[in-house]
Structure 1
């Protein structure tokens, strides 16, 4: 591997080892006010866009969709915008009234708008550093529409087509920038517009256009979202202008973010409130698991009327299927059976007491359940420990302390097997640290998909490999290794599973993972709304995706209602059996 590639991989390792929860809490919280001097000088629309309307014709929806696409391409490709010389948000407000006029010649308006930026900059040659072979390209920008003269007119099409060859690698002042040699995109130059008035249609549309174009150019999994992203834009233009208050704006953005089907999505409002809070401040103090398309109570934290093993049919006036459908409308999920925020939101309610219809030991009954303000987690709380008289050691990834892996491996080096429980998110760096004890040589276990700084919308593959063992004699652990996963295994947990799976004597046991692998990319939207997406892609060495599919187990294991009611951890039980039987 070339030296610069090694450097990128080292950076990648550091980022992927960060705690998912930490990123969720802090990843979007840093101030993202615009840094460019020239942009700050433009204050014309600081008090509002002066654009308010609530009705729009079908033709104008299409015109505004075209405006969004042109605005986004210029935002990421035009030298003057990339250099920070122009407040491109405010330029959007300047052109919107002309687009809104009935019978306006939209193509001519957009051409004059873009042409006035100047085209004196000669398209640059692509630097060798940012040239990648066709075989190494994971995703290419979907910009063919800009060459469609029938759609845009000849003048506008030619103007936009020239921009595609700008090949700008220096993006310090751009709306999406890169820090030094880091392959990770950052958005510190976007303004949060904290004083936004939520009946301001211009700013509401800016929120939609900003998000839509970020997904269009800076989402490595855009090709697997399962949506026609152009159709989504057309659908949400009337939705975003229809409301006139904060709640309608926030919930429309929530619905929009759900359409990329990414469990890395986390949405917080202007006061840092989570999308989950919109479903109620109260929550039934229980955990649940999906078994055979039924929602089964798996743990009860406080006395509330529900019992372990109950199958929930209805909460209040809503069937469980109606609740599931409602939550999925606003909470993004890579797979329908996963998403940390989805689990946290399902049993939220605005009432402290509610009627619940359920099946308990075969009998259908109605009970009065009591909720509370307690936040619930889905952690497996079994501590790391020796089992089977010291023959097996169980490692709970979610309860590890810094440096604990080294101590565990030295003390339990001669055990018959290890159980590595990744049903919790790793609380400390586990992936490469444990792999050094398990894998005898460098082995490629994944490919990362990274954004090409010079070509917005292009992502390239970078191989990721395990490192050499810690000991100079290359001795590795000889026992069996069983890796436990389920729908709560997400992000770094999935990444760790892919790496540890390269252990010669390993088996992955459980249910498919969440299907949201990679790092977390923070986004700020107008009104100080924060959200996140997967910022880089993670694929298998043969380039097969993990997004929306999840890491698949070697042996599938579904918990049973009987096991739950008896308080057994069927995953650990089966892992012990496998190690004792020698697989």
Structure 2
């Protein structure tokens, strides 16, 4: 390991259109010889020194350019990747010059980057991380680096050369990889828990960090349905305005909704979801949206509401106003999905409130009692035999490890199975159950992972298969598979592993998927931290059908679409299970 050295920047001049940093190197002391250079830089530990209360259009455009340049250098430059440079603090060093009146931003940025030391030779990409064109799921959005009209010739050449660094060893990078794992880790980001929330520099750092994580490490950037550059321009003034913690936190939450990902959560500095800002009490019910109406579908605790009530108002706010407010701060892949959305639509600040509903055709006001207890909005029906043992119902959300094997051995000769994936699977069954249902392995999902050598590029991995392997350990005869009908139940609560499980099981020859489209949020959740010790998450890798068709924001589509009826809800019936039973009976 090479001797590590201490490095810090000092700005000594800004003449006409240029400013230059000198890099001063010193030998490391014995006690911090193993400390990377990034952690030795403590100049801005007590604040960035940058405070703005208003901003001009030119400053917005200049800061947006700074964000984009800062991001590409963060993930591509050898010195930053090595951990020798505190790239957060470099942002605070250059930002005041960018904000000066009549500043030549392109020249400033060129000098800033040009004087970064680069001891690493740029080389060819490792063969391991070089993928054919048809294996690329997503390419980096870095064409702007070659735009001399936008950046000027010098800065454009400087950035363009960085795109060929092809560095695969990223142990100390802001986004790192462990051994041969394809999963990105963002644990090297500093959380800065003690920042002041009137500090413009740190607030913009939060925006810039989030924006560039999505720009380079979000597999679904191509389907978010937003112009990501325009989102940056829109949010720069939003992050500048407001001088307290709550406004900063809520602005971050609003930003996360622009990627339209139900895996995107926001957790505040105290470890609480953004939820608490909507009220500390919940009305303990679940709801379903039917024909653009919010209908009470489950009473979790007695509170005054009844099954089938159509909600018009909560307190003095129309339900449409509340929906709009929640969607401003809770990210959803589809407008009818998102676990926090279901838990937080009916949050209230006072324990009791009036709720206006339509009940059996009459509009009434009900005084409703809220609760601080955790609530479970999922399906409670236990796995059980039905129709005198001719059908077996499996609630995937209530399974124990190893239970699926016991179920299949005991109910092998039934006429049909109902697999309910409206709950998140408590035990993985995408592979184990498929062994009993399919006589041979079959492709069911393809994933995409970030290319560690090329930030912004995602590549397709070989398709995953499920079904009975050639060498099976099942006690059931190798030439047999389950012969009955399989009905898979899904709805907007079917998310992530539930969606993957549906993709696997629907390959069963005698199967049908019944219900409503799934959440459209899949891919292992990757967490990261923003300044102020605020945490967020995203879907970290892509999930696709074997033919590369997407599922994100689309959801798994049922073969038979159905809505429950308000009458059925009032009577406490599960019409999804009832319809599944009918389908099995009709098939026998």
Alignment-derived partner of residue 552 in structure 1: 557
Alignment-derived partner of residue 537 in structure 1: 542
Distance 2:481 2:45 in 1: 62
Question: How does the TM-score come out when normalised to structure 1?
Answer: 0.93
Structure 1 stretch 206-215 or stretch 190-199: which is displaced more? 190-199
Secondary structure of 2:587 counterpart: coil
Q: Check whether the contact 2:217–2:456 (CA below 8 A) recurs between aligned residues.
A: yes
Alignment-derived partner of residue 9 in structure 2: none
Alignment-derived partner of residue 401 in structure 1: 400
Alignment-derived partner of residue 5 in structure 1: none
Q: CA deviation at 1:577?
A: 1.0
Distance 1:474 1:533 in 2: 42
Alignment-derived partner of residue 253 in structure 1: 252
Q: CA deviation at 1:261?
A: 0.3
Q: Check whether the contact 2:312–2:358 (CA below 8 A) recurs between aligned residues.
A: yes
Alignment-derived partner of residue 32 in structure 1: none
Q: Check whether the contact 1:420–1:484 (CA below 8 A) recurs between aligned residues.
A: yes
Q: Check whether the contact 1:495–1:518 (CA below 8 A) recurs between aligned residues.
A: no
1:44-83 equivalence runs, <5 A: 44-83=43-82
Distance 1:360 1:182, change over 3 A: same
Alignment-derived partner of residue 28 in structure 2: none
Alignment-derived partner of residue 378 in structure 2: 379
Does residue 516 of structure 1 match 2:521? yes
Q: Check whether the contact 1:270–1:528 (CA below 8 A) recurs between aligned residues.
A: yes
Distance 1:76 1:467 in 2: 40
Deviations 1:15-62 (A, max 9, x none): xxxxxxxxxxxxxxxxxxxx9621111111111111111111110010
Distance 1:207 1:348, change over 3 A: same
Deviations 1:50-101 (A, max 9, x none): 1111111110010000000000000000011111111111111111111111
Deviations 1:556-576 (A, max 9, x none): 111111111111111111111
Distance 1:495 1:381 in 2: 22
Distance 2:35 2:287 in 1: 49
Alignment-derived partner of residue 441 in structure 1: 440
Q: CA deviation at 1:119?
A: 4.9
Q: Any stretches of 5+ residues in structure 2 without a counterpart?
A: 1-33
Alignment-derived partner of residue 101 in structure 1: 100
Larger RCO (CA under 8 A, 6+ residues apart): 1
1:136-147 equivalence runs, <5 A: 136-147=135-146
1:425-440 equivalence runs, <5 A: 425-440=424-439
Deviations 1:419-459 (A, max 9, x none): 10000000111111111111221211111011111000001
Distance 1:490 1:195 in 2: 35
Does residue 194 of structure 1 match 2:199? no
Which ranges of 4 or more aligned residues in structure 1 deviate by more than 6 Å? none
How many pairs were matched up? 549
1:153-232 equivalence runs, <5 A: 153-232=152-231
Distance 2:366 2:383 in 1: 38
- 1:506 corresponds, among 511, 515, 522, to 511
Q: Any stretches of 5+ residues in structure 1 without a counterpart?
A: 1-34
- When Rg is computed on C-alpha atoms for both structures, the one with the higher figure is 2
Alignment-derived partner of residue 85 in structure 2: 86
Q: Check whether the contact 1:36–1:173 (CA below 8 A) recurs between aligned residues.
A: no
Q: CA deviation at 1:288?
A: 0.9
Does residue 468 of structure 1 match 2:468? yes
Distance 1:519 1:475, change over 3 A: same
Alignment-derived partner of residue 40 in structure 1: 39
Q: Pairwise CA RMSD of aligned residues?
A: 1.2
Alignment-derived partner of residue 528 in structure 1: 533
Q: Check whether the contact 1:36–1:84 (CA below 8 A) recurs between aligned residues.
A: no
Structure 1 stretch 289-298 or stretch 472-481: which is displaced more? 472-481
Alignment-derived partner of residue 421 in structure 1: 420
Q: Check whether the contact 2:300–2:377 (CA below 8 A) recurs between aligned residues.
A: no
Q: CA deviation at 1:467?
A: 4.8
Deviations 1:386-445 (A, max 9, x none): 111111111101001111111111111111111100000001111111111112212111
Does residue 561 of structure 1 match 2:562? no
Distance 2:355 2:119 in 1: 68
Structure 1 stretch 120-129 or stretch 512-521: which is displaced more? 120-129
Secondary structure of 1:407 counterpart: helix
Deviations 1:246-266 (A, max 9, x none): 101100000000110000011
Distance 1:36 1:62, change over 3 A: farther
Alignment-derived partner of residue 571 in structure 1: 576
Secondary structure of 1:111 counterpart: helix
Q: Check whether the contact 2:436–2:467 (CA below 8 A) recurs between aligned residues.
A: no
Secondary structure of 1:513 counterpart: coil
Does residue 493 of structure 1 match 2:498? yes
Q: CA deviation at 1:474?
A: 4.4
Q: CA deviation at 1:375?
A: 2.2
Deviations 1:91-133 (A, max 9, x none): 1111111111111111000000110113564321011111111
Distance 2:441 2:565 in 1: 39
